Amino acid sequence: MTSILITGCSTGIGYHCAHALKEEGYLVFATARRQEDVDKLNAEGLLSTPLDLNNEESIDQALNWVLARSNGRIDALFNNGAYGQPGAVEDLSRDTLRMQFETNLFGTHELTCKVLRIMREQGHGRIIQNSSVLGLITMKYRGAYNASKFALEGLTDTLRQELSGTNISISLIEPGPIESDFRKNAYKAFQRNIDSHSGAHQAVYRSVEKRLSKTEDSRKKDPFTLGPEAVYKALKHALESPKPKARYYVTFPTWLFAVLRRLLPTWALDWILCKVSDDENK
């Protein structure tokens, strides 16, 4: 059985991919930060243990737990765990920005490096990083998340070059809008870390809060939003293809902005991205 370690399996992409891969016959180790989510995953038949990307001890404990159940082998790693921190760049404190990077970059980097040592010893492996369309382009009031995903892509591209000549591949998946609890978790981070009642962006923040606080049922359906199965399709190719791609674009907006970024001058792309962001917050 091919073994795979997945982070961020409580909901959304990680949850769907963990169950789908298990049904395909993979030996899936589905991790989540909170114990109640781990208990739920175990009750559903998955092998699950806590893994908090902000905590080095938690990463080590989870990795040791996995190795004890996989005969010391990890064939694949899917780095999916992440969250979004909304807020204008000038309103991001140093601690808020650090927390975003601890989860979305530093913890992911630490886990990747530790798994890489195992993959080098066994002589093979697949690493898949779940990035975002916001690792290609930026949008207003998403500066912390933009920066973390741009940094993840930079490290991943460098690592791909450094792994040249080995039997270890690394790929990026870059989804646009996907059905998940991402907005709900982003709203909690916004409430926790951003003072929306003062500063230059108060009026916009009222719109941001209104948008993020909408339930899935009350939110207008975006025709470009896809289910997590779209990411799973890319993940499966990255895991099983003899020649996995360096990048997988998922959803029409990702394809569109990847093309526009190459074709348009900066001022024109900025105009489009600002209009998209403003329309979204109306």
Per-residue pLDDT tens digits for 50-67: 999 999 999 999 999 999
Q: Do 227 and 120 form a contact (C-beta atoms < 8 A)?
A: no
What is the pLDDT, as a whole number, of residue 215? 65
**CA separation (Å) from 75 to 5, 70, 258, 259?**
8, 10, 30, 33
Please tell me the distance from the alpha carbon of residue 144 to that of residue 257, in angstroms, as a whole number. 19
- pLDDT at residue 1, rounded to an integer: 85
Whether 207 is covered by a domain: the verdict is no
Contact 88, 143 (CB under 8 A): yes
Number of Cβ within a 10 Å radius of residue 90? 9
- Owner of token pair 């989804």: 175
**pLDDT for the residue 218:** 46
In a domain, 104, yes or no: yes
**Comparing C-alpha atoms, which of 112, 116, 115, 152 is closest to residue 136?**
152
Whose CA is closest to 71, among 167, 3, 169, 168? Answer: 3
Confidence (pTM) = 0.94
In a domain, 189, yes or no: no
pLDDT one-digit tens code per residue, 218-262: 455 677 899 999 999 999 999 999 999 999 999 999 999 999 999
Query: What pLDDT, on the 0 to 100 scale, is given for residue 180?
Result: 86
In a domain, 194, yes or no: no
pLDDT at 224: 85
- Name the active-site residue from 15, 83, 141, 145: 145
Whether 208 maps to a domain, the answer reads no
Residue 217 inside a domain? The answer is no
Return the exposure string of 144-173: e unless at least 16 CB atoms fall within 10 Å of the residue's CB, then b: bbbbbbbbbbeebeebbeebeeeebbbbbb
- Asked if residue 189 lies in contact with residue 86, where contact means CB atoms within 8 angstroms, the answer is yes
131 near 78, Cβ under 8 Å?
A: no
We report the CATH number of the domain holding residue 101 as 3.40.50.720
Place of tokens 């991001």: 92
Q: How far lies 43's CA from each of 29, 39, 55, 99, 160, in Å?
A: 14, 6, 25, 31, 37
Confirm whether 247 is domain-assigned.
Answer: yes
- 3-class SS of residue 178: strand
Q: Tell me if 77 sits within 8 A of 4, measured CB to CB.
A: yes
**Is 202 within the bounds of a domain?**
no
Active site residue 26: no
Residues of the chain with pLDDT under 70: 215-221
Q: What is the pLDDT of residue 221?
A: 64
Domain limits at 250? 3-180+223-280
pLDDT computed for residue 94 by the predictor: 97
β-strand partners of 4? 28, 76
Q: Please give the helix or strand (H or E) that residue 168 lies within, else none.
A: strand 168-175
Our count of domains for the chain comes to 1
